[in-house]
A and B are shown apart, each in its own frame.
Chain A
Amino acid sequence: MGSPVPQWRGVMVPLLLFWLLSVAIGLTVGGAGLAPFDVARALTGEGEPTARAIVLELRLPRIALGLLVGGILAVTGAALQALVRNPLADPYLLGLSGGASLGAVLAIQMGVASPWGMPAAAFAGALGAIAVVYRLARVAGSALDSRILLLAGVVVGAFAGALTSGVLAVSESAAVRSAMLWLLGGLGGVGWTGVLALAAWSAPALFVLALEARNLDLLSLGEEPAQHLGADVARTKRRVYVAASLLTAAAVAAAGIIGFVGLAVPHLLRLLRGHGHRGLLPAAFALGGAFLVLADALARSLFAPLELPVGVVTAVVGVPVFAVLLRRSVIGVKR
């Protein structure tokens, strides 16, 4: 078998550079049109108060949140793809986005006006969806049958989606607008408090996924071979599912539903470097974060002072790149 890590060494340094580059671009680009020099002065605590406020209080927490949310989405995407052995898996697959949307829409409907009301409600909705999906999947035994897990996720997502549409249909247009804007996702909503809360919440779950990385490698061979090779398949699946779900729930609460990162980033890395989750998971964390920060920088600056939903940019920029890579790798395989 050999250790899967060495093949990742060559990619880690470029990834780290890309990660740093994304932070630099995220800091210098945005709706306010600050010169790079002003940004540098603001970072050292000097310069005009407005520029300082924009860089230190708005751009920095936004970048930190982007690195965290993008990383979480990519890692959970990678883990769930391995768990259900389905390349279409993404962090929202298992009914999470539906639950989160329903929570957010109900919060608006009940007139929760505080800035933290919506994240809290979305988080509660996502946790509710996780609980129902998990309960359904456990019906077939403690081993979490992947097919039942997928079906339960789709069914719960559809149920929550129908309720959401129903609530929106009888809501005032302002409430519908609030909900839609929030659900489109964005990194501007939670500030440093949100970044710290998300970091504290996600650290243990990320640690669990890292611990299970080797078992995910075995799992990708199939459940029976994995069992024979010494993996406790049932335990791995439970842990990965719960950790990935809790991570996604927190990411959705912090930034809404941002598509494509969790689907494409893991695949992109697999196309570049193959499987091996001990390398894939950290690489996905780095690339997902950098990608989301760059997408957000574009979202803020392309039509400044207007701002695009960041999910629009992740898809518009990411899909062509992904398509080219996919095509190349397929042609490469054929040769």
Chain B
Amino acid sequence: MARQRALISILAGVVIATGCRADRQVTASILDDWGRPVVLAAPARRIVSLAPATTELVFALGLGGRLVGRTTWCAYPAEARAVADVGNGIGPNVEAVAAQRPDLVLLYASEANRAALERFEALGMSVAVIRLDLAADLRRAARLIGRLAGDSAAAEVLIASFDSALSAASQAAVPAHRLTARIYVDIEGNPPLTLGSGSYVTEIIRAAGAENVFADLPQPSAVVSLEAIVAREPDFVLAISSDTLRRRASIAGRPGWRSLRAVREGRIVVVPGDLYGQPSPRMPLAVRDLRERIAALWTGGSGAPRRRGAAAQRG
């Protein structure tokens, strides 16, 4: 008899558990970027974003008011600074995140975050893993966050305006011949670290009608030989920084870099890191910005146009 009772109570337990489960499965069909189902009892109200790019996207979706945590490195938009700082996004401080009592954690898709993901799950927290490295990821990420926050319409509005702004920026009124430019992207000088085709900046360059001289490298970033850069004869060096003057002086002052014609002739474009640094709904602005800078350098004094024919043949 006692055994029967025990059995019944276990069964009851199972029924209740599955009942709860059924309740929580409201959003179970939502898969994150690692193909994990994300389970939420209700649309997310308290969100911790563990990557600068997702933080910006959450704000762009009009959901900034729901953010209760962001990384130390989330600098855009300015309102993000008012959100609680929970530390690093890669190898996050699980305790600091949990202390914000989020109902949704947006975790950056890095292998280094696997352990943190397990700990979040063990604490019963809902986590969506988001891979937002490229402009090509923006639409998917926007839709994912929109659905999790119960505001898919906001995501569709954002995507539509992004697409139309991007195509407008790519066709802005600059004569096309002034945009043919082969660009070397400078990230680090010693050893030279550049960006390959799997990078956001290369997407911007392409959308602006120019060409990254190392677009043949599939990697997001790679260390290359300085002599290989010289051999590819870039028209411009593009550096990403918030400190324009210092960056330009520093590139020209690097030993050996004056063997690059673009450096000798002062064709170094320093672009703001907050606009080019992370995949963002502001990509149309970056594309427009780059087109204007290239056009200015081609027409400006030091960056006079030269041997366009030769460059075209090479290309």
Chain B residues, CB < 8 A from A44: none
Q: How far is the CA of A182 from the CA of B254 in the complex (A)?
A: 14
B73, B190, B250, most chain A CB atoms within 10 A? B190
- How many residues of chain A get a CB closer than 8 Å to chain B's CBs? 38
Instruction: Give the chain B neighbours of A113 by CB distance below 8 A.
Output: 243, 246-247, 250
Task: Given A31-B231, A304-B225, decide whether A178 and B90 contact each other with a Cβ distance below 8 A.
Answer: no
> Would you give the shortest CB distance from A34 to chain B, in whole angstroms?
8
Asked if B299 CB lies within 8 Å of chain A CBs, one says: no
A253 to chain B, nearest CB (A): 12
Contact of A305 among B191, B224, B253, B255 (CB under 8 A): B224
Q: How far is the CA of A309 from the CA of B254 in the complex (A)?
A: 19
Cα A81 to Cα B302 in complex, Å, equals 56
CB atoms of B255 and A54 under 8 A apart: no
User: Which residues of B sit under 8 angstroms from A300, Cβ to Cβ?
Assistant: 225, 227
B84 within 8 A of A: no
Asked whether, in the complex, the Cβ of A32 is within 8 Å of the Cβ of B228, the reply is yes
Q: Is the CB of A191 within 8 A of B256?
A: yes
Given A50-B233, A57-B259, A191-B256, A181:B188 Cβ within 8 A? yes
CB-CB nearest in chain A for B214: A305
Q: How many A-B residue pairs have CB under 8 A?
A: 106
Given A58-B259, A188-B191: A115 and B254 within 8 A (CB)?
A: yes
The contact of A188 among B233, B246, B249, B256, by CB within 8 Å, is B256
Question: Which residues of A have CB within 8 Å of B189?
Answer: 115, 189
B residues with CB within 8 A of A: 73, 90, 188-193, 214, 217, 222-233, 243, 246-247, 249-250, 253-256, 258-259
| A186 in the interface (beta carbon within 8 A) | yes
Min CB distance, A143 to chain B, in Å?
41
Contacts of A304 in B (CB 8 A): 225, 228
Contact partner of B227 among A32, A116, A182, A306, CB < 8 A?
A32
User: Is B227's CB under 8 angstroms from A31's CB?
Assistant: yes
- For residue A81, give the distance in angstroms from its CB to the closest CB of chain B: 30
B231 adjacent to A54 (CB under 8 Å)? yes
Check if A61 sits within 8 Å of B256, measured CB to CB.
yes
Asked if A173 and B90 sit within 8 Å, CB to CB, the answer is yes
Quick check: A54 and B230 within 8 Å, CB to CB?
Answer: yes
Alpha-carbon distance A188/B223, docked complex (angstroms) = 12
28 A–B contacts from the bound complex (CB under 8 Å): A30-B227, A31-B224, A31-B225, A31-B226, A34-B231, A54-B230, A57-B256, A61-B256, A113-B247, A114-B249, A115-B254, A177-B193, A181-B191, A181-B193, A182-B190, A188-B191, A188-B225, A188-B256, A189-B190, A189-B255, A190-B255, A191-B256, A300-B225, A305-B217, A305-B224, A305-B225, A306-B225, A307-B225
Q: Tell me the A105-134 residues at the B interface (CB within 8 Å).
A: 113-116, 118
Considering only residues 179-237 of chain A, those with a C-beta below 8 Å from chain B are: 181-182, 184, 186, 188-194
